[in-house]
Each structure stands twice: as structure tokens, then as C-alpha cells.
Structure 1
């Protein structure tokens, strides 16, 4: 059985954990009424997680380009191989697009992003109330799409583990 590289496995699980944390924080912070110190702190943490996820996703993408994924098992039907490839592509697109949409949403809202409260990120656009509304919706839709894609990804991995019993999941386990 061919496995992913240790680096690919490490990046996969680290990014997955950060996405869960960022998503959970995002859901929590938007439910806090008003503009409280806690809400502001959560927004900062959410942005920092987004920047970190974006950076790690870029590293992961570069790693993947130089270290291809192991081939699909011969026992997998061709349609499943194509579906898996499409879902993996979608996951990569979303993992990159979501932090970008959040970043531009923040800028359109007139709130610059300062990574870890230390490193100010470039300001590419100024405050724009109309664009802010659009980017907020884009960020939300992309996140809901990622949630659906992750559920499908996990369901497929569990199907391979418990129904097909073909060790596909073990290729990505540490």
C-alpha cells in the first residue's frame, strides 16, 4: 500500500484541525450580540487562523505539486476515482478561496488584518460598503460549501474504511 508522505499527512491533519477551529470560532463569534471585547478578540483569532490556514494550504499545494498523491487503488471504480479527484480539487480551491474572501471582506469592511497583532498585511482595497455585503455572502457560501465537501470527504473515507475495507484511510493516517 502506498501512503502519502509524512509532510503531506502532517499538513492534512494540521489544516483540518485549524479549519475546524476557525469554523467553530466563526459560528460562535457571529452569534455574540453587539461589539464586545470578546467578540473582537474572536474576530482577531478567526482572522489569524485564516491567514495561517492560507499559508499552510499554499505550502501543502506546493508540496503536492512536487510529491504527487499515491495512485488510487485498482479496486476503486473509475467513477469513484474521478469523483475523489474532483472533490480533492474542490477542497483545495475552497481552502484557498475562503481565507482570501475573508481577507477581502475584512478590508471592504475597513478593518485591516494584522497577523497575530504584529504583522500588518497589505491593504489592497479600501472600505467599500457595497463590496462588504457581497464578500460577506461569498465568504459564508464558500464556508457552507466547504462544510458540505468535508462531510462528503469524511463519509467517503469512512465508507472505504468500514464498508470497502480497502485501507484508503490508512494512507493518510499518521
Structure 2
């Protein structure tokens, strides 16, 4: 007789399918947005502008997916880390995940505020335009631009740390941590 085990429980150390798919969708969207922001910087104005239109739409999508993921997480606990995980790794994991969630919310919001203050509409893939959330103000837009870039670089650093941790757990520790987030 087969026993049914719920994902995210002690018996099954995997995340739920919904959490896994949201993780990968958000992760790929974040990496895409980092690439769009960094790799289109020196391109002709029209090309850069078009790429930034996609960047803005993906950013708002990341915000919505993150809010959905947080709501999902409220009802579905993350599976526990293996019992032999060193305390410094548990602490680091909590800090990095907190920073990820904070940036996944603050980064798109800062971009939205920046674009609003700059008087630039945020179009969502040609489907609709979201309303501005700040009054036009060039000085404020400049400040938000700087903050958005700093948060973007911080997100890049976190992504690198996260990927290095995945490599460490999978290939050095060989503790199968990657299987917790494997969608297949």
C-alpha cells in the first residue's frame, strides 16, 4: 500500500509544485531583467527603449508573482532543511531569502515609482498601462533611478550567492538540496 506524503512535510523534503514553479518563473524573470538592464545599456536609444519596455513589464510581473508566492507560502510551509545543516548555513539561508523577498517587492516598486516620477508610462506587454504611483518630479525620479540601480546590483549579488550555494550543495556536499526545487 502506497503512502501519500504531502510536499513540504518532514516526510517529503520538497517544496510544493506551485512553490517550485513560482520559484523558477520568478528566478528566470529576474535573470532576464538583469540581462535586459545590463546588456542593453550601450545599444542604440530605440533598441534600449524597447528592451526597457519589456524590462518594466517583466518587473511588474515579478512583483505580482512574488505576491502570489508569499500568499502561497502563508498556507504552505517550506520543507525543513536537513538535520545536519550547519547553523551558519541555516542563518545565511534565512537572511538571503529575506533579502530576496524584500528585493522582489522593492525593486519593481522602485522602478514603478521611478517611471511615475519621470512621467514615463509602464506598459504591460501592450495589454494595458498601469497607473502612475507618484507625481511627476525629475529630482525624485533621479533619486529613484539611483536606488533602483543599487537594488538591482544587490539582486545580482544575491543571485550569484544563491547559485554558488546551489553548486556547493549539489556538487561539494552532495546533499541533494537541488531536488527540493526540481520541477520534474
Task: Tell me the distance in 1 between the aligned counterparts of 2:49 and 2:178.
Answer: 39
Aligned twin of 2:60 = 51
The correspondence of residues 99-114 of structure 1 with structure 2, limited to 5 A, is 99-114=108-123
TM-score, length basis structure 1: 0.93
Contact 2:110 2:144 in 1 (8 A): yes
Aligned partner of 1:3 among 1, 6, 14? 14
Please state how far the C-alpha of 1:32 moved relative to its aligned partner. Answer: 2.3
Structure 1's unaligned 5+ residue stretches are none
Structure 1 consecutive aligned stretches of length 4 or more whose deviation exceeds 4 Å = none
- The structure showing larger relative contact order (alpha-carbon pairs under 8 Å, at least 6 residues apart) is 1
The match for 1:165 is: 174
Aligned-pair Cα RMSD in Å: 1.3
Q: How many residue pairs align between the two structures?
A: 172
Decide which structure has greater helix share.
1
Show the counterpart of 1:24.
35
Q: Which residue of 2 aligns with 1:61?
A: 70
Tell me the equivalent position of 2:163. Answer: 154
Q: What is the CA–CA distance in structure 2 between the aligned matches of 1:115 and 1:154, rounded to whole Å?
A: 29
What are the Cα deviations for residues 96-126 of structure 1, in whole angstroms up to 9, with x where unaligned? Answer: 1111111111111110212222322122212
**Unpaired stretches in structure 2, ≥5 consecutive residues:** 1-11
CA positional deviation for 1:30: 2.5
Return the TM-score normalized by structure 2. 0.89
Q: Separation in 2 of the partners of 1:84 and 1:30?
A: 32
